[in-house]
Structure 1
Amino acid sequence: MSQATLRTLLSTARYEILPTAGIVERVGEYVAPGREITVTASTGLTLEATLSTAEQLQALGFRAVPHIAARMIHGRPELTEIVDRLAEAAIDRIFVPAGDATPPAGGYVGAHDLLVDLSSMAAPFQHIGVSAYPESHPLIPDDVTVQAMWDKRDYATHLVSNLCFDPTTVASWLARVRARGIELPLMLGIAGKVELAKLARVATKIGVGESTRFLRKNTATFTRMAKPGGYNPRKFLDRLAPALDDQDMGVAGLHIYTFNQIKDTEVWRRKQLAALGGAEAVSSVW
């Protein structure tokens, strides 16, 4: 991959966090304002925690991106309240996954249902991300996730890929997505500089049931961390170089899953940029 491509990806990378206690302060301590920070939504941590965290980050000068998990929303009236609340906070970007709430809190059984309702509102969102799965989803068949991407393409502005630790799988999946005519820009999901012990501690902070789901969904992360040499995000990106340099593949930026290891991830990103001679100027992908 060209150094220019890597510099751009690293300088505009956005971070995903979980809305646990103290996370806003840690982001403010280690990350310069202006960076895009996405905030997950889960039944264990509550949607209120997601919205409140996003509001606080936005007020500090970050570009906050709350996850609006469809299955956690009770219906259109609650969705309207959320839209109004985010508009008041000047938040103009969201991510809409289906979410894991079982059963659904209301009538939204998937992201598409919510996106349809959202499209009929005077919503202030300039950027709406939806999920993409390079590997099979543990609960959803592949043909369903592929169809879902197609169905959501008219309501979203970009895709956000789930974690996958195999660059070959990511590259072949992305080529198939483009061959199907899905042209939405992709925010490539990668794990940050994550340490196994710290990842385990995050799991203990998010509730017993929720942490069980967290551990199950991130088994690959734990497995990779436990291997000799661990996981190296730079090596992962280097192995994906052809796809990242190919404009037809439409990789617009990096979505870094921090697992709340903000300091470690930001130190790693800055070191990579410094080695490339890249300036530390925050600029949006969009």
Structure 2
Amino acid sequence: MSILNDYSLEMTAKERPELDNAAGRILPGTQIAVAFLPNEDMESRIAAACHVRSLGFEPIPHISARRMRSAAELSDMVERCAQYAGVKRVFLVAGDPVRPDGPFEDTLSMLRTGVFESNGIESVGIAGHPEGHPIMDANRLASFMDRKVDEIGARGMASTLVTQFSFDAQALLDWHFSLRERGISIPVRLGVPGPAGVRRLLRYAAFCGVGATTSVLKKYGISLGKLIGLAGPDRLVSELEQGLIAERSDNLALHFFPFGSLGATADWISTYPHNKGLAA
């Protein structure tokens, strides 16, 4: 079974036209996350979730704890997403602001409101950090993950871990297997970049704190001496397939970050089996 049998994608609210153009090349029922960007308003995010549903895909709105201005705003967003877009899955993050815009410091504080299960949410996604976290050490990160998983389960919902994107297959594999060794068996989606311009990939990597050493980038297919052109995840996905050859289950899949190129990512996914012979 291919690791691409159950992939998911990410988009922003402004990318609805791109989704329309790419829809015919995306598997029906595919999970599509709608990112929570500070320069997009709530109406746009909810409209995007509705648009994803109208095209036959599964919308997963992101919700940023520290960007929610009130409990009422959180309740309104979840209720409307459930009512109008049939949302059953959400993805929760703490968010970037150092100081919260409202009453929520982190994902746990949102979970404890009860707003998700009361609106029929069945699954909650939380972030995984294969390359570490800028303000948490590994032990604290693991403890916080466990607390979130326990809280979600106690409220009758399922958990999914979705990682930040990475250029480093070994980092993703090591993190995944360490998770299983800790006895965490919930579904995992490993984040990989879609095909994009080299400069754009490096810009997002810097912004997201993703490891981008010269050796890792070279293995991925990026040369710092040649920043013009496109780079795709062929080698990364191939290496992940090889490293996960013994594990083919519903609990593991890939999550693609298209970086504004939904169509190019959909094309890449649909043709990837033909590219597996690409030279390493």
The TM-score bracket by the shorter chain reads 0.7 to 0.9
For 2:211 and 2:231, the matched residues in 1 are separated by 11
Tell whether 2:65 aligns with 1:70. Answer: yes
- Paired residue for 1:49, among 44, 48, 52? 44
Q: Relative to structure 1, is the Cα distance of residues 48 and 140 closer, same or farther in structure 2, using a 3 angstrom cutoff?
A: farther
For 1:266 and 1:231, the matched residues in 2 are separated by 15
Deviation larger for 88-97 or 98-107: 98-107
Tell whether 2:203 aligns with 1:216. Answer: no
Contact residue 188 and residue 251 of structure 2 kept, 8 A: yes
- Aligned-pair Cα RMSD in Å: 2.9
Q: Deviations over 1:65-121 (max 9, x none)?
A: 110111112343222212210121211111111111331122211112212223675
Listed as ranges, the gaps of 5+ residues in structure 2 are 153-157
Contact residue 196 and residue 230 of structure 2 kept, 8 A: no
Contact residue 78 and residue 115 of structure 2 kept, 8 A: no
Amino acid at match of 1:170: L
1:250 Cα offset (Å): 7.2
For 2:142 and 2:249, the matched residues in 1 are separated by 17
Tell whether 2:29 aligns with 1:34. Answer: yes
Tell whether 2:136 aligns with 1:140. Answer: yes
Amino acid at match of 2:234: R
How does 1:94-109 map onto structure 2 within 5 Å? 94-109=90-105
How does 1:143-162 map onto structure 2 within 5 Å? 143-154=139-150, 155=152, 156-162=158-164
Contact residue 54 and residue 64 of structure 1 kept, 8 A: yes
For 1:267 and 1:245, the matched residues in 2 are separated by 24
Q: Deviations over 1:244-271 (max 9, x none)?
A: 2333997521110111111211111111
Tell whether 2:120 aligns with 1:118. Answer: no
TM-score by length of 1: 0.78
For 1:75 and 1:181, the matched residues in 2 are separated by 36
Contact residue 166 and residue 210 of structure 2 kept, 8 A: no
Give the number of the structure whose residues are more often strand, by fraction. 2
1:37 Cα offset (Å): 1.1
- Paired residue for 2:194, among 192, 195, 200? 192
Between the two proteins, what is the percent identity of the paired residues?
24
TM-score by length of 2: 0.80
Greater relative contact order (Cα < 8 A, sep 6+): 1
Listed as ranges, the gaps of 5+ residues in structure 1 are 204-212, 277-286
- Paired residue for 2:173, among 166, 171, 183? 171
For 2:170 and 2:210, the matched residues in 1 are separated by 19
For 1:176 and 1:263, the matched residues in 2 are separated by 34
SS at match of 2:118: coil
Tell whether 2:256 aligns with 1:264. Answer: no
